[in-house]
Amino acid sequence: MMVNVTARNVKGVSSDSKYANVETDCDDASMEADCNFEDLFDSPNKTEMFNPLDIITALFLCSDGFVQQELALKMSMCQFSVPLLLPNCDTKQSTLMLWAMRDIVKKYRPLDLSVSKGFKEERIVLSELPMISFVRLGECSLSKSEILNKLLSNSQQYHDTFVHHNMECGDRPRKISDGLTEITWYLPCGNKNMDIFSEPVAIANLRGDIAAHETQFSFLCQTSAAVFVFFDQLEPECKLLTNKNHKAKIFLVGNQQNKSLTPDVLKKIANQLNLKKNNIIIKTKQINDAEFVECLRTTVSSVLTNPGLKMSIEQMADIAHELGISLDEDSPECQAGRKNADGITAGIEDTFKFKEKQFPLQGKIWKELTFLEKEEFRLRKVGSENIEKYKSDLKMKKEELRSKQNSHDMSDVMKRFVSGISSQGRQRGYFLKWMRMNLDNLSLSKLSHLRELYKEKCKDSKNKNEIKQIDQQLSNSSLGVEQFFREMGQIYEASLYLPETDPSRQQLQHLPRLCAQLLLDGFPLELVDGDASNIPLRWVSDVLSQLNDLVSPKNKILVVTVLGVQSTGKSTLLNTMFGVQFAVSSGRCTRGAFMLLIKVSEDFKKDLNCDFMVIIDTEGLKSPELAQLDNSHEHDNELATLVVGLSDVTIINIAMENSTEMKDILQIVVHAFLRMKEVGKKPKCQFVHQNVSDVSAHEKNLRDRKLLLEQMNEMTQAAAKMEKKEENKNFTDVMEYNPETGNCYIPGLWNGNPPMAPVNVGYSETVYELKKNIIQLLGKCESTSNNILEFREWINSLWTAVKHENFIFSFRNSLVADAYMRLCTEYNKWEWEFKKEMYTWVTNAETRISNFGTIAAKTEISNLREYITELKSEATTELTKLESLMLDNLNEYFEQPEGHVYLVEGYREDFSNSIKSLRKQTERSVFDQITVAADIKQGLKELDKIRASFTDEIKTAVCALIDKCHKNKVKMTDKQLDESFNKMWAETLDTLPFSALQTSNIFTSVSHQLRTNLSPKGSRACELLSKRKLQDCGLEAFTYKPKGITDKVTQKVKGLFSWTGLVKANQEIADSIISACNDCVNDKINGKTNYHDTYIQEILHIIDERLKNDHVDKDIEFEVSLKQHIFGSAARKFQKMHEYFIQDNDPYRRLQKNKDKFCADFKDVFHKRDQCQKKAEEFTNKCLKPAVEDFVYRSLGLNIIDKMLTREELSTRMSFQYSILLNLISKSDFKSFQSYIWSYENYVKVWISDRIKEIFSLESALCEFEDRHLQSCIDRINVAIEKAKAEKIDSLKTFAETICKELGDKLVISQDALDSFMVLNNADQDQFAYWLKECVTEIAEALRNKFKNTKFETKLTRLHVKPQNELMNIVIGCGKQCPFCKVPCDAGGKAHSEHFASLHRPNGLGQAKWEHSDKLTTDICSSLVISDNTFSCSAIQYHPYKNYKDIFKDWDIRPDVSLEASDYWKYVMNKYNKEFAEAYEAEPADIPASWKKITEQQAKDSLKKSFHIK
C-alpha cells in the first residue's frame, strides 16, 4: 500500500453509469458538440459519481482490522483526517476506530521543549490531548470542513485535511458517510513563527446534522475540551445543546448572511445556553475568510491555554460503550491476542533486566559464540599455539557454550510467546501486533531521549567513548519482537547439540515451521542479528527449508535489497514501494537485516518468472565519523557483502542531491560488488538520490554523475588492489550500471516542515516510477537464487565466507560447485566423444596403412609417403571439425538459461583452452601413430616383395614337380609324394638368395635422443651422460643418492617443523615416473610391432611433464640418473621387441612356416581332389578369422570406456575422488591409505583396473559388445561375398581379391596368408563361395566361444585402447598436486589457469613432523593459509602462508569454510596415528581432542560436503 497524497482525488464512478465513459462519449460526439454552445450553460450530471467520504467509509467497512490500521496510518502520513467514529449504514451503529489508529505514532515539539530542542514521540491513541470538535446544527451556509482546513493550514501552504464541498466530487450527496466522525491532529514544531498552535490538539469533525446523529454528538461533548457548533438557525434545535452531561465548552459559529440571525436572537440563545459573548463567533459581511479563520484560531488557542479536559482516544472507549458505540477492538481474536501480549509485557519495568532474565541464551553467550565462530575462521589470536589444537579448543568452547544454553529451561515469557504465535489465523496476527505496539510503547520514551543525545554526540568525533556508551544503552533499552524470535532461534540452535532422541530437542522441532508460516503471513524474519552481528545459520536455514516445504513447487524467488547510510529513509522507501511494514522510527531504526516475503500476483508471474519477491531491509551503514568505533567498518563490510550477494537488484540509497555523501559508503559497496563478481555474480544496481526537489535535478547532476562514475572507478581500482583482483579497472567491470538509467532522483518525503507536513506527491510518484524500473530490471535478470533452497544456500555460503578476513579467498558455494560439477560432467562427455571419434579414425587409418599396397587397399595412390600426407590432411580436417564442435557445445552450454551457468562464467576460458590443448595433444598423438604405422609398413615393404618372390619360386617348383610326376604316369603313394616334395623344397631353397636381416642397435638410437633432450640443460647434463653407458643403466631398482646436498626444501611453522627431505620426496617422484614409463613401454611391447623412435619421444614427454608438475626442487643429477635408468631398461626391452619382430618377419622362417600347407596343396592338386571346402576353411581361418578377432579387440576398449564413463564415480574428477576415498574408509585398511598417499597414481590405476574387472567380470555387457562387433564383421564379410558373386568373376584369385578389397577399410588381412592361400588353388568358384559362407558362420561361433572362454584379464592385455590408461588420464586430469599436502588437483579440463583441491589433509600424513620432537604434525594447509605462520623453500625463506600465491601462483588453496570438510582426514589420522608414525619413522602426533570425537559416519558425511555430493 503506497503513500499517495492524491488518492482522495480519484473519481468514484458507478460501473453501470451512463457517464462512466463520459470522455469517450465526448470524443465520439466531438463534431456535433463543437457547434452546440448551449452546453456551456448546462450543469454536468454527477448523480452517478461518489462522494470521497462514501468511498473512505466503504473502504473501512470492507477491510479487516489490519488493513484498517494500514489505511489509517497512511492517511495520517498524508495529513488526511482519519475515521474516529465509523457509521454502519446497515446496523445504524457507529464504531470507535481505536484499533485502526493504534499504529499511528506522532513526533512533535511542544512549547516547553522548544529551547532544549527536545521532542515527544507518542502513540497517538495513548496521548492525552485536548480535543476540539466541530459539528453542524441544521443547515449551514458556511463550509465547516473547508474552514477547518484553513484553520489548520498556514498562509504559505494550504492542505485539504478534510474533504469539503469544493473538492472534486465533494459536493456529491453523501449516501453512507453521514454520521462519520473524523479526527486529525495539529502538532507544533516548536517554532513560534510557524506554529499555528503552540500545544498539540486533536481536531474532530462530525459529518451531517447533529440532530440526526445525537449519539455521536453526545460522544464528542463528553470527550472534547470544546465543541464548535456551526449553524444558520438555532431556535428549534436548541435543546440539543442543553444536555447537562456534556463536559465540553460550547461555541456557536454562525453566518450573518442568514437574515434571521439578529442580535436579539443571539442574546436569547446565549441566555438559554448560559453562554458568554466570547462563546459566539459570527462571520459578518465585513469579515473575509482569512480574518474569520484567524478569529477561530484565537478562540481555539484560548481554549488550549486552559482546556479543562484532556483525554486519550483509548480513554474514550468507556464513554463509547456507555453510549452504545461499539469498539473495533471488541472482536474475540483481538482481545485474545491482547490478553496474551499483555501477559508478557505487563510486568516489564526495566528492559535490560527483563532481557537478562527472560532471554538468557542471547546477549553475552550469543556474542561469545559469535566471536568463537569468527575466530575459527580468522585465527587472529592463535599466537604460537598449534593451529589445529587451537581450532579444536575453539570448537570445544562452542560446545560448552551450547551446553550452557541448554542448561537454561525455556523461560515463562518465551513459553507464552511460542504459545501466542502458535495460535491460529487472525489471533496470531493480533498477538504479534499487540506485542510490537506494547514493546514499542515501553521503549519509546527512553529511546527518544537517547537517540537525540546520540545524534548530538555524533556531531563531534571526539565523543567516541560517550557515543559507544549511548550506543550500548540504545541496544540495552530497545526491546522488540525480534528479540523474542532471536531467543527462539537460539533455543532451537542449542537444542541441535542435544541427542536426536532427547525429548527437549524433539519438542522444539516445530519452531522453524511456525516462523516459516509467519513469513508467509507477511511478518519479517531477522537474517542478521544487529546486536551480535551474526546470523544463526542453522535456524535461518531450517526456517527457509520449512518455507520451501510450505510453498513448493511454487518456490521461485527474486531478491531486492536496500543499502545506504543510516537514517536516509531506506525502510520508508521499501514500505512505500512494496507496501510492506518494516519498522520505521527516528534514529537508528533497523539493526542488522530483515527479510520479508511478498507473493507475486498471477499477472506479474509471467513478467518476473517468480512466485515470491524477497525484500531485504538493512541497518544503515555507519557514517565516516563513526568509523573509528569498534570494528564498525568490518561490520558494514560484512553486512554489505551479504546482502549484495543475496540480491538480484540492490538499491543504493543516498539522502541528498549531489554525490559527495556517496563517498562514505562507496568503498563498502564497491568492495561488496567486486567480491560478488569474483564469485560468479554480477547483480544489478540502482542508485536512489533522496531529497531532490528540483525537477531539473537529473540534468543538473549530469556532471555529478560523471564525477561519481570517475570516483567509483577509482575506488574500484583501490578495492581491486586490496582484494588482489587488479584486472578490474572500472566500476562497470564489477557490476551492471548505466549512469543514465541507474540513477533515480526522489524528492523529500515531506511536503513542508514536519510534523504537519503531508507526504510529498512527487515522492509517491517518483517511488512508483522507481518501482516500475526495478520490476523491469528484475524481469531481465537471471536470478542467482532461483528458489528458496538456493537462496538458503547463498546465505550459508556468503556468511561463511564473510566470516573470513579475505572474502574472495574464502568463498565457496555449493550452487557454484554444483554448476562447476555440471560443467565438468558435460566437458568430460564432449572430451570423450572427441577422443572416441579420433581413436576410431586412427584405427581406421592404421587399417588402411596396413592394407596399403595390397589387394585390400582402398586408395589409388601408389606412393606411401604421399598417402601419409593425405591421411594427415584428413586428420587435421577431422580434428578441426571436432574442435569446433566442442567449442560450439561450450558456447551453447553458457547460453542456456538453467543450471546457474553464469556462476561459472569465469571458468569458460579455462575450458576453452583445455579444448584447444586437447586438439594439439591429440594431433601430435595421431600424427605419431600414423608415422609409426607408415614407417613400419615401409620397413616391411621390401620384405613383402622378397617373400612374394620366394613364394612364386616355390609355386613354380611345385607346379613343375606335379607335371613331372604326372608325366611318369606312375601311381605314387602319399609317402612317395612327401619324399618328392621334400627333395624339391630343399633344392629350391638352396637356389634362393637368402640373407640374414639386419637388426638395429636400439641403444644407439635411444642414447642419441636422450642426449638431444638433455643438451639444453647444460654441459653438466652431457658430462653426466658420458660417465655411464646406457647399457649399464636400468639393471637395478632406482635409488636417488644426492651427493653433498642437504635438504633444500623445508617448511617451517613457528620454527618447529620440517618437511620430508629432498631425498625421500624425489625418490617418491622417481618411483611414480618409472611406473608410468614402464606401463607405456609394456603397452608398446604388447602391440608386437617394430620399434620406432617416437616411442622414446613419448616417454620423454611423460618424464618432462611429470618433473614439471612437481613443486619439489630437482637437481640435474636427479633428472639425468632417472632418465638413464628409465631408458636403459626401455632400450633393453625395445631391443628384444625389435629382434622378435625381425625374426617373425624373416622370409626364410615364413616359407618354412608354410611348408606343410604347400605340401598338402601339392598332394591335393596331384590327386585332383576337390579343394573348395578346404580352401574356404583356409581362407576363413588364416585370413578372415585373425582379422575379425583383431577388429573386435581394436574396438572393444572404446566400449569399455563408454560403459565406465556412465558410472557416477567417473563422471567428474571430484566424483571420482569422493568414490575412491569412500571406498578407502570402508576398507578400514591402513596399507591402502598408505598406498593412496605415497603412490597416488599407482593406487588409482589399480583401483580403476579392479573396478573394470569387477564390473565386466559380472556383467554381460562385454559379451554384448563382442557380439555386436563380431556380427558387424560377419555381416560385412557376407555382403562382400555376395558382391563378389554378383560380379561374375572368372578367377578364384580375383574372387578372393574382390572380397579382400571390399573389407579393406575394416579388416587388416594378412598378405602372407593371402599369398599362401592363392598358391595351387584349383577350387571351383561357386562351390568355394558356398563353403566360404558356411565357414564364416562357423568362425563366428568359434570366436564367440573363444571370447567366452578367454579370461577378462587376458582380453585387457590385447585391447588396442587400454581402458584403464584412458580412464586414468580422465580422472587424474592435470596431475598437479597441492604444494603443501600433495592432494591432487580437482579442476576440470587440463589447461585450467588455477589448480584447486576440494579436500586438503593434515601435513603429518605426508610425513611432516616437528623438528624438536619428531612427532607428526596435525596442521592442515587449508588452515595454515589463513594463519600468520610462515613456510620456506629454496626460492625464499620464511614466507607467510597467507601470501602463498606469491610462490605458488597457479594454486588456489581455500580455507575449510565448513570447518568439517577435513573431518575425513582428521578421522583417518586419529585412527591410524601409530601406524603412520611407525611407517614414517616418527612419533605419533598429538591429536586434538575434537578429532577424537569424529565418527566414521561423520567422516563420510564430511566427504559429501567437501565434494558437494547430494
Long-range Cβ contacts of 1146-1149 (<8 Å, 24+ apart): 1146/997, 1147/943, 1147/946, 1147/947, 1147/950, 1147/994, 1148/989, 1148/994
**Cα–chain-centroid distance for residue 113?**
54
Query: What is the DSSP secondary structure assignment for residue 282, as one 8-state letter?
Result: E
Could you give the CA distance from residue 523 to residue 518 in angstroms, rounded to a whole number? 5
Confidence (pLDDT) at 883: 92
Q: What angle do CA 18, 19, 23 make, to 5 degrees?
A: 130
Q: What angle do CA 1058, 1062, 1068 make, to 5 degrees?
A: 110
Q: How far is CA 287 from CA 155, 165, 830, 1164, in A?
A: 17, 21, 94, 149
Confidence (pLDDT) at 227: 93
Query: What is the DSSP secondary structure assignment for residue 1428, as one 8-state letter?
Result: S
How many other CB atoms are there within 10 angstroms of residue 617's CB atom? 27
Long-range Cβ contacts of 976-980 (<8 Å, 24+ apart): 977/1162, 977/1163, 977/1166, 978/1159
Q: What angle do CA 180, 183, 185 make, to 5 degrees?
A: 170
Could you give the CA distance from residue 92 to residue 324 in angstroms, rounded to a whole number? 11
> Terminal CA-to-CA distance of the chain, rounded, Å?
42
At residue 914, what are phi and psi to the nearest 5 degrees? -65, -35
Q: How far is CA 621 from CA 198, 573, 625, 626, 639, in A?
A: 37, 16, 12, 10, 9
Burial 1381-1412 (b: 16+ CB within 10 A, else e): bbbbbbbbbbbbeebbbbbbbbbbbbbbbbee
**Of residues 1391, 1509, 1402, the one with CA closest to residue 1462:** 1402
The residue length of the chain stands at: 1510
Three-state SS sequence of 135-157: EEECCCCCCHHHHHHHHHCECCE
**Of residues 911, 941, 843, 926, the one with CA closest to residue 880:** 926
Confidence (pLDDT) at 300: 93
Could you give the CA distance from residue 233 to residue 255 in angstroms, rounded to a whole number? 10
Confidence (pLDDT) at 1238: 81
**Of residues 249, 91, 241, the one with CA closest to residue 179:** 91
Query: DSSP states of 600-650 as a string?
Result: PPHHHHHHH--SEEEEEEEPPBPPGGGTTSTTHHHHHHHHHHHHHHH-SEE
Three-state SS sequence of 730-780: CHHHHCECCCCCCEEECCCCECCCCCCCCECHHHHHHHHHHHHHHHHHHHH
Confidence (pLDDT) at 90: 83
Could you give the CA distance from residue 1470 to residue 1319 in angstroms, rounded to a whole number? 76
Block residue for cell numbers 637368402: 994
Alpha helix (H) residue ranges in 1287-1386: 1292-1302, 1311-1318, 1325-1349, 1352-1358, 1363-1372
Could you give the CA distance from residue 827 to residue 835 in angstroms, rounded to a whole number? 12
**Of residues 976, 854, 736, 700, the one with CA closest to residue 1312:** 854
At residue 201, what are phi and psi to the nearest 5 degrees? -150, 145
The pTM for the full model equals 0.74
Confidence (pLDDT) at 851: 79
Q: How far is CA 1343 from CA 549, 1182, 1331, in A?
A: 59, 13, 18
Query: DSSP states of 810-824 as a string?
Result: H---HHHHHHHHHHH
The pLDDT averaged over each successive group of 10 residues in the chain (1510 residues) is 67 50 44 55 60 92 92 90 92 92 89 74 90 91 90 84 86 89 92 87 94 92 93 72 78 81 79 84 86 92 87 93 92 92 87 86 87 83 80 88 90 91 89 90 72 69 72 74 91 90 89 93 88 88 93 88 76 82 59 87 83 86 48 72 85 64 66 73 78 58 69 75 71 73 78 81 84 85 74 85 66 70 85 89 86 72 83 91 92 79 80 89 88 77 65 70 65 69 73 69 88 84 84 86 48 38 72 87 82 86 79 73 90 87 73 68 58 72 85 88 86 84 90 87 87 80 86 88 78 77 80 58 66 83 87 84 85 81 82 83 84 84 83 70 84 75 86 90 89 89 81
Record the cell numbers describing residue 927, joined without a space. 600424427
Confidence (pLDDT) at 26: 41
Could you give the CA distance from residue 928 to residue 469 in angstroms, rounded to a whole number? 79
Could you give the CA distance from residue 265 to residue 234 in angstroms, rounded to a whole number? 9
Record the cell numbers describing residue 1160, joined without a space. 598338402
Return all residues near 313 (Cβ < 8 A) that are at least 6 apart. Answer: 84, 96, 98, 101, 124, 125, 126, 183
Q: What angle do CA 367, 372, 373 make, to 5 degrees?
A: 95
